[in-house]
Amino acid sequence: MVQVIEWTNPGEDEIIWRYPNEVIKWGAQLIVHEYEVAIFMRDGKVYDVFGPGRHTLTTQNLPLLYKLVGGSNSPFKATVIFVSMKQFQGRYGGETQTRELAPVKYYGVYWFKVSDPVLFLTEVVGGQSLYDTQDVTKFIRAYFNEGMMKHLSAYSIVDLFQNLDMVSTQVKVKLMEDFRRLGLELVDVKIEGVNTTDEWRQRLFWIMQTGNAQAVMQMDTAKQVAAELGKSEGAAIGAGMMIMPQLLQQPAQPAQPTQPYAGGGAPPAGYQGAQPAGAAQPNQEICPYCGKPIPPGARFCPYCGHEIKRCPNGHIVPEGAKFCPVCGAKIE
Ligand SMILES: [Zn+2]
Ligand SMILES: [Zn+2]
């Protein structure tokens, strides 16, 4: 009976499949379907490679293995691995820290496929001794996550929450390079969400409001910032001003001048012409509850639905503040 080596009914998520019999006879029929590659391995090393088609195994089309087994015509030992060249989807999620050591959670989707099956088998399958799809998938997910953690941690929390599009694009490019080293093509990556703790969301809020990340970071907790700013009555933000005057001043670097309101008519309610913008884009407001940028003057956050409290002059004030962090107006 002729030995037939074929990957029958590969599952939707199956990347590789190992032919269970390690003893191969000359003259065996190897059937490789579309979007598949069959590779002969021995001791974790890649030997001969077959593309789609029906192949009769001879000493001619298995030259490397034939040489290895010493030119004998008796059955020989080899591991046949089929690799799917189709595109796969993976979900990821994890935790990392930003440049300022703010804890960040993230999650999303990525799409990948094998682009160089020989490199893939050498690096992942043979290199890690992973011979079934589950192990390979687990390895790829961990590898992706590790890269994601590493690359995201190079950014500041302000970038992550304010410029996520830019961060995604840059991180994607780096992850694609990582994947190429495994013989994989990372087709696309989508970051669906990033989140941080309440404490850091408040801190982020203060950074956005004052444009002075350094001063906010120097305070132990965001609550402390709020408390210092809201301490004295009557004298606006007097006490807060004395304790950390730099917090409410224009940032020193003139890199991003606050743009004057250019539209016709009255400025929108939330427009903060004199706001020390600093790290924030001019005229951009941020939700103190979820950290996402919201439309100027919004009364409710379109992302988390939280009501946005404002001082009489239209500045956003965080939960519990007694005075406006921007103009010092008393909050009822
Ligand atoms: Zn929100
Ligand atoms: Zn105000």
Nearest ligand, CA 294: 1
Distance 164 CA to ligand 1 centre (A): 15
Q: For position 248, what pLDDT does the model report?
A: 41
Q: Which string of b and e fits 38-77 if b means at least 16 CB within 10 Å? A: bbbbbeeebbbebeeeebebeeeebeebbebbeeeeeebe
Q: How far is the CA of 123 from the centre of ligand 2 (A)?
A: 58
Question: Which residues of the chain carry a pLDDT beneath 70?
Answer: 218-283
Cα of 330 vs centre of ligand 2, distance in Å, is: 8
Q: If you measure from the C-alpha of residue 159 to the centroid of ligand 1, how many angstroms do you get, rounded to a whole number? A: 17
Quote the ligand 1 centre to 179 CA distance (angstroms).
35
Which tens digits make up the pLDDT trace of 206-235? 777 777 777 777 666 656 666 665 543 333
CA 329–ligand 2 middle distance (angstroms): 5
Reading the block at residue 250, the tokens are: 């224009």
Q: Which ligand is nearest to the CA of 302?
A: 1
Residue 223: φ, ψ to 5°:
-60, -35
Cβ neighbors of 53 (< 8 A, separation 6 or more) are 32
C-alpha span between 217 and 215 (Å, rounded):
5
A 10 A CB-CB count for 105 gives 13
Pairing of β 76-77 and β 36-42:
unpaired
User: Could you read off the pLDDT of 41-83 as tens digits, one per residue?
Assistant: 998 889 999 999 999 999 889 888 888 887 778 899 999 999 9
Give the rounded distance of the alpha carbon of 329 from its chain centre. 40
Q: Which ligand is nearest to the CA of 295?
A: 1
249 Cα–ligand 1 center, Å: 26
Q: Which ligand minimizes its atom distance to the CA of 323?
A: 2
Report residue 62 as tokens. 């298995």
Helices (H) and strands (E) counted in the chain, each on its own, are 10, 14
Ligand having the closest approach to the CA of 292: 1
Which pLDDT value is given to residue 257?
Answer: 40
Q: Which one of the ligands is nearest to 269 CA?
A: 2
**Ligand that lies nearest to the alpha carbon of residue 248, given by its number in the listed order:** 2
Alpha helices in 46-156 (DSSP H): 63-68, 117-120, 127-128, 133-152
Contacts of 217 (CB under 8 A, 6+ apart): 100, 203
Q: For residue 226, what pLDDT is reported?
A: 61
pLDDT at 283: 56
pLDDT for the residue numbered 151 = 95
- C-alpha 315 – ligand 2 centre gap (Å): 4
Give the ligand at the shortest distance from the Cα of 229. Answer: 2
Instruction: Determine the pLDDT at residue 190.
Output: 92
So what's the pLDDT on residue 49? 94
Distances (CA, A) of 144 to 18, 193, 286, 307: 24, 16, 30, 37
Q: How far is ligand 2, taken at its centre, from the CA of residue 81, in Å?
A: 67
Per the listing, tokens 């495994």 go with 182
Q: How far is the CA of 326 from the centre of ligand 2 (A)?
A: 5
Residues 6+ apart with CB under 8 A from 60: none
User: What is the CA(45)–ligand 2 centre distance, in A?
Assistant: 68
**What per-residue confidence (pLDDT) applies to 234?**
34
Closest ligand by atom to 204 CA? 1
| 118-64-85 Cα angle (round to 5) | 25
